[in-house]
């Protein structure tokens, strides 16, 4: 339980690690990796249902753990990644090594996501991309015009039909008007 409690404290570090890539377009205070992982997991659950995957909780769980290596290596954006050879898989392997069976399961989920080994991994990757697209759309509407390029590039990476359909609707929306038209309680 000692190693497990250390791991649980380490996971809390994801609240303090910011998604660094958004700083490239001028966002001074981007969301944390934990915030990203939460919405990605929520999207993954829904996307799995839309894609007819019979275990949406598998996709959701995959996304809960997909960025845990960043506790140790940080969130390295694409430009920095050209010059730094961070081994996120080794970080994850080291993180979960002392967790016995649950550690093996977490590593398997991480690898399935990272390498898109199954339909669940493909769905999870699309959910991850959709969260970044939604975030880019939010930043675009806040005046970060370069976020439009991110939306286009990330959108081309989507593989599932449901994710592509969601993207079409995202493009038509103002992200800050979701509440307009709600019925009064």
The model's pLDDT over 24-41, given as tens digits with 9 standing for 90+, comes to: 999 999 999 999 999 999
Number of neighbours of residue 87 by Cβ within 10 angstroms: 12
Please report the domains of the chain, with CATH numbers, ordered by start residue: 2-171 (1.10.3210.10)
> Which percentage of the chain shows pLDDT scores above 90?
88
Model-wide pTM > 0.75: yes
Q: Is 18 helix (H, G, I), strand (E, B) or coil?
A: strand
What Rg do the C-alpha atoms of the chain give, in angstroms? 17
**Residue 185 banded pLDDT, cuts 50, 70, 90:** low
Angular region, 151: left φ>0, alpha ψ -120 to 50, beta rest: alpha
- Residue 84 confidence (pLDDT): 86
Q: Beta partners for 18?
A: 32
The model's pLDDT over 148-175, given as tens digits with 9 standing for 90+, comes to: 999 999 999 999 999 999 999 999 999 9
């Amino acid at each position: 339980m000692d190693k497990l409690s250390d791991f649980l404290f380490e996971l809390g570090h994801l609240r303090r690690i910011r998604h660094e890539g958004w700083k490239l377009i001028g966002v001074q205070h981007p969301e944390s990796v934990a915030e990203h992982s939460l919405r990605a997991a929520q999207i993954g659950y829904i996307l799995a249902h839309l894609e007819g995957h019979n275990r949406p909780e598998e996709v959701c769980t995959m996304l809960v753990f997909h960025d845990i290596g960043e506790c140790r290596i940080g969130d390295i954006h694409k430009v920095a990644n050209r010059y730094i050879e961070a081994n996120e898989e080794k970080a994850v392997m080291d993180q979960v090594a002392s967790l016995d069976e649950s550690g093996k399961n977490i590593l398997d989920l991480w690898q399935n996501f990272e390498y898109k080994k199954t339909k669940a991994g493909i769905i999870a990757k699309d959910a991850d991309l959709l969260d970044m697209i939604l975030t880019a759309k939010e930043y675009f509407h806040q005046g970060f015009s370069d976020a439009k390029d991110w939306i286009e590039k990330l959108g081309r990476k989507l593989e599932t039909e449901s994710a592509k359909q969601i993207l079409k609707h995202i493009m038509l929306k103002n992200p800050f008007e979701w509440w307009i038209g709600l019925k009064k309680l």
